[in-house]
A and B are shown apart, each in its own frame.
Chain A
């Protein structure tokens, strides 16, 4: 049982390049999330998908786009990377939408992105 799988684990980009972070979960969860984690800032929500076919902005959505490809997969795209997007990105999933309902988040192992 893999849980939440993120790819790639590490990536170095130059300013202006684009890339997509992939996330897949095998727990049949309805809701999926993308967070970024920066030193001293904690985990901040970028985008989330309450259920298949829906996506919504979180706290820090600027510079990102997402796609809920199906119930299992939720990708995060950086169209034109900037040094401020250097961070560790975590995908997470939950059975129901947290915040609205009680429920735990299951996180992937993270994708470490450096933008030069």
Chain B
């Protein structure tokens, strides 16, 4: 079955370091991947989209990569700040023309 998976364990890092979150997919080839940020008690907010023919996308301190060989997307936050603490969700289209979400990875940035 088609799956999109994120590490369910929280990622704890020190302020100023680069946070790297992983999204893996199996049994399908998405045309694109999206990343969302979700704060506690709030709805997800769109951050970035990367298409299958793009290796890398950047937006300010955010960088997303898409490796179709490894079937993986990496989401990087450089110079991380405590305000970056949140849950980050990846999503992709599937062969059934739907958008499916991973379970999210919680990021905690300590001062």
Chain A residues close to B by CB (< 8 Å): 4, 35, 40-45, 58-59, 90, 92, 97-100, 102, 104-110
Which residues of the partner chain B approach A107 to less than 8 Å between Cβ atoms? Answer: 43-45
Which residues of the partner chain B approach A35 to less than 8 Å between Cβ atoms? Answer: 101
* Nearest opposing residue in chain B for A108, CB measure: B43
B46 with A105: CB separation less than 8 A? yes
A104 with B49: CB separation less than 8 A? yes
Which residues of the partner chain B approach A45 to less than 8 Å between Cβ atoms? Answer: 98-100
A40 with B103: CB separation less than 8 A? yes
Q: Does B51 contact A (CB under 8 A)?
A: yes
A58 with B98: CB separation less than 8 A? yes
A99 with B94: CB separation less than 8 A? yes
B42 with A109: CB separation less than 8 A? yes
Q: How many residues of B contact A (CB 8 A)?
A: 26
Kindly identify which residue among B32, B89, B97, B98 contacts A59, using a CB–CB cutoff of 8 Å.
B98
Kindly identify which residue among A42, A92, A97, A102 contacts B103, using a CB–CB cutoff of 8 Å.
A42
Which residues of the partner chain B approach A98 to less than 8 Å between Cβ atoms? Answer: 93, 99
Within B28-83, the residues touching A (CB, 8 Å) are 31-32, 34, 36, 41-46, 49, 51
Kindly identify which residue among A40, A102, A106 contacts B32, using a CB–CB cutoff of 8 Å.
A102
Kindly identify which residue among B34, B43, B49, B97 contacts A109, using a CB–CB cutoff of 8 Å.
B43
* Nearest opposing residue in chain B for A104, CB measure: B46
Which residues of the partner chain B approach A102 to less than 8 Å between Cβ atoms? Answer: 31-32, 49, 51
Q: How far is the CB of B14 from chain A (nearest CB, A)?
A: 27
